[in-house]
Amino acid sequence: MTTTRFAPSPTGRLHVGNIRAALHNWLWARKTGGRFVLRIDDTDAERSEERFVDAIRRDLDWLGLTPDTEIRQSERFALYGARFDALVADGRIYPAYESAQELDLKRKVLLGRGLPPVYDRAALALSDAQKAALEADGVRPHWRFRLDHAMPLAWDDLVRGPQNFDPSTMSDPVVRRADGSWLYMLPSAIDDIDLGISHVVRGEDHVSNTALQLQMFAAMGATPPAFAHTALLTGAEGKLSKRLGSLGVDHFRDVGIEPAAVRALLARIGTSDPVEPLVDMAPLVEGFAFAHFGRAPARFDEAELAQLNARIVHQLPHDTVADRLPAGMGAAEWDAVRPNLATVADAASWWQVIEGPVAAPAPAEDDVAYLAQAAEAAAAIDWAGDPWHALTATLKEATGRKGKPLFLPLRRALTGLDHGPDMTALLPLIGRERAVARLRGD
């Protein structure tokens, strides 16, 4: 079975890049009839907070990306410890005793010589007696995974194509700190094996991590998952934007963006597929394919999201938004104003237009008598059918006006605005009594 995972750290809120990764994993799981796992990477006890765990769950639910199951790394330390001990026994993980300052000095020396700052494996040359002496002096080791320099790091990435890394150009990664806490690399690989993760879908900033983790899978006797590394998001200005790290569900909700708009945009940007205002997720699921992703950075534009959101709002039926509308606003009112909305919240201003009072601009001198005549006509027409066309037809015949001189003064007096929903739908909602009063200027 296809099994994907989304693995956020609960050290902050999800941002737009996280959301995109979660969506891609969810879409692939749904397309293949598989499972979508939420893995809370809370091994960093000092920085992880329960309020962020709760926020991650709420954000995924709001987006419609509810996972099939959830695990927490903080509950799996025994599993990590057992795998760690086995790798130590096999000689694939070894203790290293350099301090952070010593390692920094080594890196600077190598860089000063024009060499890559690759760890020199000095710890492997230490004798048991030297290690014992260091530990007797209170030096506690950190632990590194020993890369096999004879084993090429290669895979066929589902987005980037064939990938190759030379392990001799890479430092043996630290997998456990001196205080016993875990870094990301090894627990993640252990979880992927234990949970049967079939596909790891993440940003291209993890490509080098994947290269290293391939040897970890091999060292544990496991077949690695398939990997898909998507291009990173850029801002509308065409470069990596710090603002993207601050955009999340709270921001989208605050400015009236629908979850469907977020999904529709993030599912398609960076691919060869058109971005469409899709409320239903089924077309997004059906059309999702790694082959459609390009290597160029994916451009995220809030203006494009806002435009997409308006097109989605125009499709929403009343029963899906009723709890967010002003009290008393029914399906007829929603259907009348919906084509003019950018967000659902905008419906409140049009409800004010319908219910009143309306602050209409003072009519032009030429329109004063015309509006008085319109008030008399509005009081006399039959409101059971189509009052707008009945009113304008009566006034056209009586005054000879047509086009803008006929319609615009009426719209201004009735709504206080020069634009808005079709008056054919809006005028019956305003009703005879309010319409006559507004045309009279009351």
Of 350, 428, 423, 363, nearest in space to 392 by CA: 423
Tell me the C-alpha distance between 337 and 331, whole Å: 10
Helix or strand run (H / E) with residue 143: strand 142-145
User: CATH number of the domain at 1-70+231-315, out of 3.40.50.720, 3.30.1280.10, 3.90.420.10, 3.40.50.620?
Assistant: 3.40.50.620
0.85 cut: is pTM over it? yes
pLDDT digits (tens, 9 = 90+) for 94-121: 999 999 999 999 999 999 999 999 999 9
Q: Is 31 annotated as a binding residue?
A: no
CA distances from 54 to 10, 11, 38, 216, 326 (A): 9, 12, 12, 31, 29
DSSP-H helix ranges across 181-288: 185-194, 207-219, 249-254, 259-268, 282-287
Task: Over range 278-294, report the average pLDDT.
Answer: 97
Residues of the chain with CATH 3.40.50.620: 1-70+231-315
Give the class (CATH, top level) of 356-440.
mainly alpha
Task: Over range 355-381, report the average pLDDT.
Answer: 95
Q: Residue 84 contacts by C-beta under 8 Å, 6 or more apart in sequence?
A: 93, 143, 175, 176, 186
Residues of the chain with CATH 3.90.800.10: 79-176
Cβ(213)–Cβ(190) under 8 Å?
A: no
DSSP bridge pairs for 70: 38
CA angle, residues 155, 244, 254, in degrees to nearest 5: 130
Task: Over range 62-73, report the average pLDDT.
Answer: 97
Residue 243: pLDDT above 90? Answer: no
Cβ(226)–Cβ(53) under 8 Å?
A: no
Residue 238: pLDDT above 90? Answer: no
Residue 240: pLDDT above 70? Answer: no
Cβ(44)–Cβ(86) under 8 Å?
A: no
Q: Is the peptide bond before 152 cis (omega within 30 degrees of 0)?
A: no
Helix (H, G, I), strand (E, B) or coil at 161: strand
CATH level 3 topology of 79-176: Glutamyl-tRNA Synthetase; domain 3 (3.90.800)
DSSP-H helix ranges across 331-386: 331-337, 347-355, 365-380
Please give the pLDDT value at position 236: 75
> What's the 3-state SS for 412-428?
HHHHCCCCCCCHHHHHH
Per residue in 105-119, is it b (16+ CB within 10 Å) or e — as a string? ebbeeeeeeeeeeeb
**What DSSP string describes 31-73?**
HTT-EEEEEE----TTT--HHHHHHHHHHHHHHT---SEEEEG
Residues of the chain with CATH 1.10.10.350: 356-440
Residue 237: pLDDT above 90? Answer: no
Task: Over range 32-53, report the average pLDDT.
Answer: 96
pLDDT digits (tens, 9 = 90+) for 302-316: 999 999 999 999 999
Q: Kindly report the number of other CB atoms within 10 A of residue 279's CB atom.
A: 18
Please give the pLDDT value at position 241: 65
